[in-house]
Chains A and B, each alone.
Chain A
Amino acid sequence: MLKRLLQSEYLILALCVVYFASMAPFAEGFASGENLGNILSAMLPLLVVATGQTLVLITAGIDLSVTSVIALASVTGAMVINGDNGALAGSGFATPAGIFIMLAIGGAIGLLNGIIITGFRMPPFIVTLTGMMFFSGFAIWLTKSKSIYNLPPSFLALGKHTWLAGATALLVAVTGHLLLTRTLLGRWLYAVGHNPKTALISGVPVNRVLILSYVACGLCAGVAAVLITGRLETGSPVHWRSSLLDIIGATVIGGTSLHGGRGKLLWTVFGVLFLTLIDNSLNLLSLSHFSTMMVKGGVILAAALLDSARRRLMGGVG
């Protein structure tokens, strides 16, 4: 029974439902339509970044640089398209150019991460950790730590309209899902995560697969940068600086293994939903941010323990 429950695909979704039902009477306004809208719009950028993180975690890697990618992409795009002193100020191309720049920066940093990790056989943890320091420092240096405002209205619409941001997030998540379940690359990602040596012997181009996973992760962070910059109407070098734990936490809560080889996009959707529900409800309860952090830390630890328990129950190295 316990084994079946732990192995269920829908464990986290069930927990979301139980949590929602049990919090609704206590947190005033939690179940209101307006609040569901808040929950949704808060989920979207997180879902997009977590999608990329899922791909990387499946290869037994990790990308800690995503928050700095968001920051750098946000300020660089905003610098070019803002109406005050941007190179494309007032141009009709400003919005597509801004989106392109943000995605390109995400993809480029992902590529760099992938090349360093595979080329020098460095642990992803240290490569992306130093990447995080470097790129967030660079973003602050670039802007002298000032936020950039006055962005084109068509660009802002991307983050402001929940349906538009929702469609974007859905597109990213479904693409990630199809990539993992329907393509050869998807199978290779799992194979590399399970055991890179066996994968290599079986003819999987391990290095290329790893590089692609980091590029995809960077691209997702670039998309998230577009949504966040649009939503907050500002390019800022400190956007999402403190959200790294949420991103990795949501993925791990969903059930994607930190040890690689196991994970699904759908699980990540549930993980993102669960973490957002916790955040939103504790906030409605007017709990201090520090208590929220303690609860979230506890939940993420519990999820990591669950991950280990699952691996043991499945009787193996996973």
Chain B
Amino acid sequence: MPMKQMLISALSVLTAVLLAGCGKSDSTSSSSSGGSPPEGRQLTVGVAFETLQTEYWVAGFDAIKAELKKRDIKVLEAIADSDSNRQLEQIKNFVTRKVDGIIMVPKDAKTCIPAIRAANDAKIPIVLFNRVADRADVKFVGVQADNLELAKGTVAFMVEQARKTGRKHKALVVMGDLGDLNAIGRRDGFDAAVKGHEDVVEVVARVPSEWNQEKAQAGVVNALQANPDINFLFTSSDFLFPSIVSALKAAGKYKKIGDPGHVILGGFDGDATAWQMMQDGYLDATGVQDVYFEAESSVQALLDLLAGKAVPDLIRDPGFVLTQANMAERKARTWGANVNK
């Protein structure tokens, strides 16, 4: 095959695709598939999650799918594996498939904006589950735990436990990915709860985990070496507990509540590990996000938007602080207690 002919054929293929593409991609905004669907037609909702790497997201994903199924709504799923570019492709694919609504967990507050805009342009209502985006110039409904208040409540309970011992405590906080508004809210909640209680709790170490088990473990090991007397630990997510517990065990500091060597432990999420630690008597408190409430609210918000009803921009999940005292009564609402069934 002569080189020239080959090049020409290649260029023509590319140009053809280019032309076909340009012609249509700019006209997406005119094709409205949202609005109110005709009665009797089955609705389709696209569910796009950034990751399924923690139990929380799996539980959320399952809860949303169950909620949609209950209402006889067809589900299209997409997982972006922590890649915002892939997530944008997936949202565009939902638009192509003319879904009636989209529920999305974005990677962070900003990179998801083009994806939200793609849905906005196609007039498809979009709900952000558990993580919200910066408002910028896009429209969406956010359903989110009140990270700050819930973290504050959890840490306040821990401070109370510390005060009861009558001893001064040295605290370590494991933070999340600070590009994630949830991580920021939880850190701020921690700070707000310890503020004014410096007489009982002194923060000696802050470990940035970037939501990564290995980083969390390395950070906690280092902090425990530098400050062997740490006896108060809050993690911004329960999913980091396996690494944290292994670091505590290595330092000989993983002791049950009531033991003089007990490190006051608190977390956030209410996952299965936390539930087990709670049952085994190691964990003092965790701020539980009410996954079921968040899933119901997300689906309801989409339906309300489709019906043309007014929906607030942000729906808050108040969550609750799970402690040894309220474990039994809160079990049904704690997703971590129900995932392994």
Q: Which residues of A line the B interface, CB within 8 A? A: 9, 13, 28-29, 32-42, 45, 140, 144-147, 149, 160, 162-163, 166, 170, 174, 177, 181, 228, 231-234, 236, 238-243, 266, 269, 273, 279-280, 283-284, 286, 288-290, 293
The answer on a CB contact under 8 Å between A34 and B24 is yes
B274 within 8 A of A: no
Q: List 21 A-B contacts (CB under 8 A).
A: A34-B24, A35-B93, A38-B21, A38-B89, A40-B20, A40-B25, A140-B210, A144-B178, A145-B179, A147-B111, A149-B113, A160-B114, A163-B18, A177-B7, A181-B3, A231-B114, A233-B113, A236-B84, A288-B77, A289-B78, A289-B86
Contacts A36-B20, A284-B97, A289-B80; A41 near B25 (Cβ below 8 A)? yes
Could you tell me which residues of chain B, from 1 to 37, have a CB within 8 Å of some CB in chain A?
Answer: 1, 3, 6-7, 10-11, 13-14, 17-18, 20-28, 31
Across the interface, A266 reaches (CB within 8 A) one of B10, B22, B92, B114, namely: B10
Interface bracket on B: 35 or more
Chain B, residue nearest A164 (CB) = B22
A29 vs B98: C-alpha distance when bound (angstroms): 9
Residues of B contacting A39 with CB < 8 Å? 17, 21
B272 within 8 Å of A by Cβ?
no
Decide: B85 and A232 in contact? CB cutoff 8 A.
yes
A147 near B17 (CB under 8 angstroms)? no
In angstroms, Cα B77 to Cα A39, docked, is: 19
Query: Which B residues lie within 8 Å of A140 (CB)?
Result: 210
> Once bound together, how far apart are the Cα atoms of A146 and B92, in whole Å?
25
Interface residues of B (CB under 8 A from A): 1, 3, 6-7, 10-11, 13-14, 17-18, 20-28, 31, 76-86, 88-90, 92-93, 95-98, 107-111, 113-114, 134, 136, 177-179, 210
CB of A232 within 8 A of CB of B111, answer yes
Shortest distance between the CB of A297 and any CB in chain B (Å): 13
Nearest B residue to A35 via CB reads B96
Which residue of chain B is the closest to A178 with respect to CB atoms? B7
Q: Which residues of A contact B10 (CB under 8 A)?
A: 266, 269
Which of B20, B88, B179 interacts with A146 by CB under 8 Å? B179
Return chain A residues, CB-CB under 8 Å to B25. Answer: 34, 37-38, 40-41, 162
CB–CB B113/A29 < 8 A = no
Q: In the bound complex, do residue B20 and residue A37 qualify as a contact, i.e. CB atoms below 8 Å apart? A: yes
Q: Point out the residues of chain A lying under 8 angstroms from B22, CB to CB.
A: 37, 40, 162-163, 166
In the complex, residue of chain A having the shortest beta-carbon distance to the beta carbon of B210? A145
A33 to B83, CA, bound (A): 25
Known: A145-B179, A289-B81. 7 other contacts (CB 8 A): A9-B1, A33-B23, A34-B24, A38-B21, A38-B96, A234-B84, A239-B84
**Given the complex, which residues of B lie within 8 Å of A288, measured CB to CB?**
77, 79
A240 touches B1 (CB 8 A): no
In the assembled complex, the Cα of A241 lies from the Cα of B79 at a distance in Å of 15
A289, B95: Cα distance in complex, Å: 18
Taking the nearest CB of chain A, how far is it from the CB of B178, in angstroms? Answer: 6
Q: How far is the CB of A249 from chain B (nearest CB, A)?
A: 15
Report the bound CA distance from A57 to B136 in whole Å: 42
In the complex, chain A residues whose CB is within 8 Å of the CB of B88: 231-232
Residue on A nearest B10 in the bound complex, by CB: A266
B92 & A38 in contact (Cβ 8 Å cutoff): yes
Contact assessment for B111 and A242 in the assembled complex, using a CB-CB cutoff below 8 Å:
no
- Cross-chain contact of A284 among B7, B93, B109 (Cβ < 8 A): B93
B83 touches A240 (CB 8 A): yes
Taking the closest CB of chain B, its distance from the CB of A17, in whole angstroms, is 10
Contact of A286 among B76, B98, B110 (CB under 8 A): B76
Task: Given A29-B98, A286-B77, verify A145-B20 contact (CB < 8 Å).
Answer: no
